[in-house]
Amino acid sequence: MTSPQHAVLKQFLVAATGPLAERRPRLPAMRLFAELLAFGQFTPWNVFVEDTDVEGIPAEWVRPANPAAGRVLLYLHGGGYVLGSLNTHRSLVGRLAQKCGVTTLAINYRKAPEYPFPAALEDALTAYFWLLNQGYAPADIIVAGDSAGGGLALAVLLALRDADEPLPAAAVGLSPWTDLQLPTSTLRSLSHHESLLLEALEIRSWGPLYAAGTPLSHPLVSPARAGLHGLPPLLLQVSDAEVLSDDVRRFADQARAAGTTVTLQIFDGLVHWWHLFWRFVPEADVALDRVADFTRQVWATPAAIPAPGVDPTRQAA
């Protein structure tokens, strides 16, 4: 059973998105709604935000008091590749930085349909290499993101691996969107009331808007369609009530079968984007505590990252 606070959040989302579901809003209205959801979600106390420019990409340094030296999270916000911003996720990023005790770089990557694939991926990779140029070692970087940002974090790993570039220490996906083809089981679950928000915002259209002329099955668009060998440790969190639940479980199984270390944490009965509401939904704060535990474990246990070009399933054949 979920907390009373989550029950209130769920009722609010159902009430707020009911009119949207009837009117089928245009993208500008969807973007405005996402910004309004962030209203009142202030940065945690004693967390400091500084604007920066990452090769032309708007970004923010988010620093807790006394962050660990030489380590950094690269955070990629969610929003279906079409909405979301530094503003919508500043509170979440601040809390994550505070919990993990490290400086975090959040970027406002380009969105579809104005900038379709591979624009968002290019921006995320630019930010990663920018951090390397700032003096961070690959082993001192963890890439994290929620929803589409979680899928983008996984795509970053795949792109780096395939280019024989140094990989970060780990990646964290909070309800990551791993398969933009939206399998039948995912589409069927869109009718559930837990997912009214995504239904109202017409998630079915977001993948094609992002992919544009690229097939949705492209491995850097849908990481679930890629070979998942040679990746650093992954932490994946998802609720069993989310539309993405089955996809995330399948992705975890595929990655483990390919030899990648995966920590899969499944929460009960929570709506998509529950992490954003950490200030009054206790399950969200618990989830962020587990992210912090994972980052500390990764950085406390140096491990050799598999060679990028080695696919154990092919070797076995």
- Mean pLDDT, consecutive 10-residue stretches, the chain (317 aa), reads 68 59 69 79 91 98 97 97 95 96 99 98 99 98 98 99 99 96 61 49 79 97 98 96 88 99 92 78 91 98 54 38
Amino acid sitting at position 2: T
b/e map 31-64, b = 16+ CB within 10 Å: bebbeebbeebebbeebebeeeebeebebbbbbb
pTM of the predicted model as reported, rounded to 2 decimal places: 0.88
Edge-to-edge, what's the strand order for the sheet holding 103-107?
47-54, 57-64, 103-107, 72-76, 141-146, 170-174, 234-239, 262-267
pLDDT at 314: 38
HSE-CB for 272 with a 13 A CA cutoff: 28
pLDDT at 311: 46
pLDDT at 245: 87
Say which of 147, 189, 195, 245 is annotated catalytic: 147
In whole angstroms, how far apart are CA 55 and each of 90, 122, 133, 294? 21, 11, 11, 30
- Catalytic site includes residue 147: yes
Give the closest residue to 267 by CA, choosing from 250, 292, 285: 285
pLDDT at 200: 46
The token duo for 163 is: 């280019």
What would the CATH number be for the domain defined by 4-303? 3.40.50.1820
Query: Which conformational region is residue 182 in: left (phi greater than 0), alpha (psi within -120 to 50 degrees), or beta?
Result: left
pLDDT at 198: 54
How far apart, in whole angstroms, are the C-alpha atoms of residue 35 and residue 86? Answer: 10
pLDDT at 279: 79
pLDDT at 176: 96
pLDDT at 278: 59
b/e map 259-289, b = 16+ CB within 10 Å: bbebbbbebebbbbbbbbbbeebebbbebbe
Burial of 309 per CB tally in 10 Å (0-12, 13-18, 19+) = exposed
How far apart, in whole angstroms, are the C-alpha atoms of residue 100 and residue 98? Answer: 6
